Structure 1
Amino acid sequence: MNPRDWLCLGDFNEVVDNTEKVDGSLKIASQILPFRSAIEACSLGDLGYKGSKYTWCNDREGVGFIKERLDRALATEGWCVQYPDVEVEVMSARSLDHKPLCVRLLQGHSHTHRGFKFEASWNIDDESSEVIKDKWEKDVAGPYPLAITQRKLERCARALTAWNWAKYEDIGKRISSLTQKLEILQRDQQEGDEEGIRILQEELNNLLEMEEIRWRQRAKRNCFQGGIETRNSYMRE
């Protein structure tokens, strides 16, 4: 990670605008602008929050009551790209007048999913498009467009991996099972079995096509990797 990519959190003792303040006198521009300028100068973005918006309260009653959002988590765009799936939770204040913040890296470093590869065979199954659409269209909070896109891509990758595992991990066993069912049904075929046979044939053919595409894709990948290794070996010699 670039040393300039960093996270900064805690009590900044200032709001960025008057929407972060309840009761008490309104802040004038000269009070707010220095803090906003500092955030901009450091190229930081607000990571948002989960839970209560206001992190500080003066614990007074009546007209003297004030609460404000003084605590926050700020980060650079590079940090958000490295850790796209992050959650900032505002915890309960047990003794102090400030509520503590808890920053959770929900999926750790973004390099976790560098090994993900989209399987061309998934294009045959319309359900894969629905998996992608469901994850992509869900709102993602974040101060930077690139980090938001990264987070959506990682969500899609995890969802597709889980979907593929649940539906196609044992594709060889499913092909064998459907083949046996089809053989039995065709062997003992009676009037009215045509539709059931057609459905089994269609499902079996789709699985066989997916398996063929999957092996072709892996063969190309291995050939490409082998070519790189051969070239590197030749250059070393």
Structure 2
Amino acid sequence: MLKHIKSSSHLPWLCIGDFNEVLHRTEHIGVQERSHAQIAGFREMVDVCGFNDLGYEGHSWTYENKVAGGSFCRVRLDRALATPDWSVRFPLAKCKHLSAATSDHVPILLSWRSEEPRPRGKKRFRYEVMWESHAEFSNSLLESWQKEDEATTLQELQSKLKKVSSHLVRWDMNTFGHVRRELRKLKQELERLQSDPQWMGPTHTELKIKEKILELNHREEIMWKQCSRILWLSAGDRNTKFFHI
């Protein structure tokens, strides 16, 4: 199919995802070695389409069978391939292998611009619509507003709004922040463990971290369902437009 697409188009082309094959035997670690014919067929497709592998950052694999001991395998099945003219347009493009707690494939993240840190200015307050779904939000906001003196001038109004916004930021951190912080820390630790070149299958520590991540994800979902007025949130479903996990 990719060969057919190539023959009918000469536009710059990026192809990213699970190709279910490797380009080199070294991309398969563990049992169930792949046949030379399979690898050769994949290489032929890459050559015919004029693709270059964009490479990766992070651990060297994107799939694992999650079996400890002698039966494990880790394989680089997911990748980003691009034609030279696409790479010329996006010379800073790179692909990063992330970590996964449940799936046997890890997410791969493509970036196409510089990640140099921008000069940090004063952090701006951002009102989150998702706060409104919390049962305690309205009372907390009203209490904070009424706590301050009545504003009769523009300067007094600005001061009052600043104090209320500071209260909302603290309320958000106390209500939701601890779960997000713990999830972020656990995912970073999981990524560190999965990047170990001496890995020989899921360790007890890695499995415990994955269990904790699932527990926190479930706890966060329950928290949202308990406090949410959005009735269409069904069991096991996350709408990431509102629920930032």
The answer to whether TM tops 0.5 is no
- Tell me the TM-score normalised to structure 2 length: 0.42
- Tell me the TM-score normalised to structure 1 length: 0.43
The structure with the larger Rg is 1
Higher relative contact order (CA 8 A, sep 6+): 2
Is the helix fraction higher in 1 or 2?
1
